[in-house]
């Protein structure tokens, strides 16, 4: 075929997290006993009260197109949720319901970015951020973080980076963070917000893991800092992680009216609207509660405590305690530099562990962290225990 592929399509790389999960599933289908730590979704089922509402929507023939931005009842439920959980006053017309939070971010970037604009992203970062920025012909500007600072940027670091840029447009802030599990406290958010307001850049606050915070900590949305900050912020959230509804595909963006209105136009010409049945189920998920969210969070905390404790018992390996989400990021640099197989990076180490020890983890380079690997503890305790045995054995046996 002689049709040339666009530079945009050529530049986009496959999602490493999806690739790991797909390969692990393929190996399992072939009869290989693989322990998969690559999954980015809860291993729990959608609560029954939510599923019952979906059945009702089908039986009521609520199966047609809806308004592109989402049905008004759902946007009202999101508005009430944001007031209740985040102390944010947000009108339904300032909310865009999309087929997943990933779509919400992409439509937002399409709305605000022109070619050569710059979007700042703390690193390690969720794998799709950089690709989505590149897809709208903007430049991702990475802000490296260290384990010593719990993988968080400082306001001073952000200020310094902004002063060196030509066309800064936005900061993507993800708290709780994927892949590190780090969370920002109120004081840190206040300082970062002040810098963004000073430089008149938009804060894209990805809060998809807000319900999964541990040790009695409470999520704080940066948009709640002040009215001025709220006018500079678009909050991204959804139902996938909190309610174990990843496959239902519903996320949302909430922010300044003009931005949301124009993002809705872009969505209207691409995906149209979110599945009508999902929208009805999401209303019930947001408005009602049977305790399943808290139960899931408590179970994740037990798994986190066990996983991180065991990882830190492995010689020459360190792992910070994540405060949210369901990921842990151990530093395996010692094994990369001291193995007998000529393995030089985390990608090859993950390939070795999958091939030889049947344990699937995601290389940290997928998130901009070459010395690390990412574990998801969204799997059973039984799998965690067995997977850790394989992981430890694989690392120890790799040493020269």
Token pair 């996983």: residue: 307
Q: Quote the CA–CA distance of 369 and 346 in Å, as a whole number.
A: 9
Can you give the pLDDT at residue 12?
Answer: 80
Instruction: Give 10-residue mean pLDDT values along the chain (400 residues).
Output: 82 73 82 91 96 98 97 98 97 98 98 98 96 96 97 98 97 98 98 98 98 96 98 98 96 98 97 97 94 96 98 98 98 97 94 94 94 97 98 97
Q: Is the dihedral of CA 231, 233, 239, 244 positive or negative?
A: negative
Can you give the pLDDT at residue 1?
Answer: 56
Q: Quote the CA–CA distance of 17 and 328 in Å, as a whole number.
A: 14
Q: Quote the CA–CA distance of 139 and 167 in Å, as a whole number.
A: 9
- Domains defined for the chain, CATH in brackets: 7-45+292-398 (3.90.1150.10), 48-287 (3.40.640.10)
Q: For 180, phi and psi rounded to 5 degrees? A: -90, -20
Ramachandran area for residue 390 (φ above 0: left; ψ -120 to 50: alpha; else beta): alpha
Q: At 349, which helix (H) or strand (E)?
A: helix 346-357
Q: For 23, phi and psi rounded to 5 degrees? A: -65, -40
DSSP string, 209-276: TTT-B-TT-----GGGS-HHHHTTEEEEEESTTTTT-GGG--EEEE--HHHHHHHHHHHHTTT-S--H
Q: At 50, which helix (H) or strand (E)?
A: helix 48-59
Q: Quote the CA–CA distance of 60 and 287 in Å, as a whole number.
A: 20
Can you give the pLDDT at residue 16?
Answer: 67
Can you give the pLDDT at residue 5?
Answer: 87
Can you give the pLDDT at residue 20?
Answer: 72
Q: At 170, which helix (H) or strand (E)?
A: strand 168-174
């Amino acid at each position: 075929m002689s049709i040339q592929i666009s530079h945009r399509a050529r530049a986009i790389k496959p999602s490493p997290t999806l690739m790991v999960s797909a390969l692990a599933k393929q190996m399992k289908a072939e009869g290989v006993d693989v322990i998969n730590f690559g999954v980015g979704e809860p291993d729990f089922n959608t609560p029954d009260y939510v599923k019952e509402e979906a059945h009702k929507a089908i039986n009521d023939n609520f199966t047609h197109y809806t308004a592109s931005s989402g049905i008004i009842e759902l946007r009202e439920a999101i508005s009430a949720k944001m007031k209740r959980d985040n102390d944010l006053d947000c009108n339904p017309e300032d909310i865009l319901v999309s087929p997943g939070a990933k779509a919400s971010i992409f439509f937002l970037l399409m709305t605000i970015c022109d070619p050569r604009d710059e979007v700042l992203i703390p690193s390690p970062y969720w794998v799709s951020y950089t690709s989505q920025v590149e897809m709208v012909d903007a430049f991702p500007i990475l802000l490296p973080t260290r384990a010593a600072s719990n993988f968080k940027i400082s306001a001073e670091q952000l200020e310094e980076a902004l002063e060196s840029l030509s066309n800064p447009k936005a900061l993507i802030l993800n708290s709780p963070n994927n892949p590190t599990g780090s969370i920002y406290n109120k004081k840190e958010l206040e300082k970062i917000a002040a810098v963004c307001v000073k430089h008149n850049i938009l804060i894209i606050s990805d809060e998809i893991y807000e319900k999964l915070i541990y040790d009695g900590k409470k999520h704080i949305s940066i948009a709640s800092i002040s009215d001025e900050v709220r006018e500079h912020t678009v909050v991204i959230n959804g139902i996938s992680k909190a309610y174990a509804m990843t496959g239902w595909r519903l996320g949302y963006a909430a922010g300044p009216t003009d931005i949301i209105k124009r993002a809705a136009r872009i969505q209207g010409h691409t995906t149209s609207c979110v599945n009508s049945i999902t929208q009805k189920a999401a209303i019930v998920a947001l408005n009602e509660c049977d305790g399943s969210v808290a139960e899931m969070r408590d179970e994740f905390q037990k798994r986190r405590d066990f996983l991180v404790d065991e990882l830190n018992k492995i010689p020459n390996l360190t792992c910070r305690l994540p405060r949210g989400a369901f990921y842990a990021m151990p530093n395996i640099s010692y094994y990369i530099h001291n193995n007998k197989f000529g393995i030089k990076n985390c990608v090859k180490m993950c390939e070795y562990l999958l091939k030889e020890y049947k344990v699937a983890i995601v290389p940290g380079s997928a998130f901009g962290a070459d010395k690390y690997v990412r574990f998801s503890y969204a799997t059973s305790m039984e799998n965690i225990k067995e997977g850790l045995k394989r992981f430890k054995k694989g690392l120890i046996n790799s040493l020269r």
